[in-house]
A = this chain, B = another copy of it.
Amino acid sequence: MMRTRPLKVALLGCGVVGSEVARIMTTHADDLAARIGAPVELAGIAVRRPGRVRDGVPEELITTDATALVKRGDIDVVVEVIGGIEPARTLITTAFEHGASVVSANKALLAGDGAALHAAAEKHGADLYYEAAVAGAIPLVRPLRESLAGDKVNRVLGIVNGTTNFILDKMDTSGAGYSEALDEATALGYAEADPTADVEAFDAAAKAAILAGIAFHTRVRLDDVYREGMTEVTAADFASAKQMGCTIKLLAICERAADGQSVTARVHPAMIPLSHPLASVREAYNAVFVEAEAAGQLMFYGPGAGGAPTASAVLGDLVAVCRNKLGEATGPGESAYTRLPVSPMGEVVTRYHISLDVADKPGVLAQVATVFAEHDVSIDTVRQKGKDGEASLVVVTHRAPDAALSATVGALRGLDTVRGVASIMRVEGE
């Protein structure tokens, strides 16, 4: 039954992920052949710096000319693990033009240009698979695209960035501040030298855009995703969270509006109850909740990054794409038929936890409560603490549109008796 001419794979990038892909393709060649129905051969590996290629990667396959590799004409599948927008975008497009299907782990590119790439794939009858772009080894793209294809997803809520989860977990368990926890993450290799993409939530926002698009069968671009990083989260916030029976996580939240006519996608730190399964996701692990009409609540958990886990997702896609090639078929392409618009953050309905520094005198609480009432924001609980003429008020609201909550905070800042807004954090997962 097995075809003898091997399928040829071009690997673009040979860093942490690429070298694992090359290693597994070599050591597990027989298994891959049996599962695909034909042998699969690494035809070339494009790298920027040939001197830095890792042990175990076949040197004779290395080239610095990625474009020539992709244009060779005999490549069946291009595996792109370079990351970033260019040259990845041009190489992928060129791959499609030369008859190859593509497996990519590139979240930034897919979040920014997914629609154009899907269109190019469809035009050339090729596949574009990207399980590795979201939450590493955790099967998430395929379950959403395929397993839940007969269901209606209403919500995706998850921890999709391991670096920030490591830092927040550290702050939670050790009482450390943000910079101390970041230093530890850097020392242990969980954070990069420049941690901006992680801690400012650009990475998580790209994943949220991809997940929202697939979940709701619409187009969600990176710019549509509301984004707040987690560099302002303090040890005091964790103390407040504990008093509420909560912890703090950086969450990606994609929701269908109650009327079903729009969707929202956002990434920000939030308090969640300790009883919520996401609260116990430790270290650099990722976990994503999916709520669907018929299926109910599903959770997917696992390592969200790292060379081997990401390679596992890449190779799963590679097997599928190779099978499609052999069967002269293509897998599911972009599904954006609902054309649901993405609403701005102001329309998201959520809850706020607000800490105010206020003057310690009678009537302050009444004043503050009036501001909430004027903005139609209902208060759930208030905690008041006073000492030495200073006092603090901690207010937790009921659910209200983010715009109303935000306007309330603006008005509170304008009160003479409010000396400062110490912190604002959303409360989710209840």
Contact = CB atoms under 8 A, between A and B. Distances in A.
A16 interface: no
A149 B309 contact: no
B316 A149 contact: yes
Interface string A118-130: 0000000000000
A360 B292 CA distance: 59
A185 B338 CA distance: 41
B34 A217 contact: yes
A356 to B, nearest CB: 36
Interface in A272-308: 277, 280, 292-303, 306, 308
Contact of A302 (B280, B299, B302, B337): B299
Given A139-B139, A217-B35, A301-B299, A24 B149 contact: no
Interface residues of A, number: 58
A139 B148 contact: yes
Interface in A134-153: 137-139, 142-143, 146-152
A82 to B, nearest CB: 19
Contacts of A327: 329-330
Contacts of A142: 139, 142-143, 146-147
Given A147-B316, A152-B28, A137 B328 contact: no
A262 interface: no
Nearest to A34: B337
Given A302-B295, A303-B297, A308-B296, A143 B150 contact: no
A314 B148 CA distance: 10
Interface stretch (A165-173, A318-326, A340-348, A418-426): A318-326
A299 B299 contact: yes
B139 A143 contact: yes
24 contacts: A31-B217, A32-B150, A34-B337, A34-B338, A35-B335, A35-B337, A137-B292, A137-B294, A137-B295, A137-B298, A139-B139, A146-B320, A150-B315, A150-B316, A150-B317, A151-B312, A151-B316, A294-B315, A295-B308, A295-B313, A298-B300, A298-B302, A299-B301, A328-B329
Q: Which 10 A-B pairs have the closest CB atoms?
A: A150-B315, A329-B329, A139-B147, A137-B295, A294-B312, A149-B319, A295-B312, A298-B302, A139-B143, A299-B301
Interface of A: 20, 24, 28, 31-32, 34-35, 131, 137-139, 142-143, 146-152, 217, 277, 280, 292-303, 306, 308-309, 311-320, 323-324, 327-330, 332, 335, 337-338
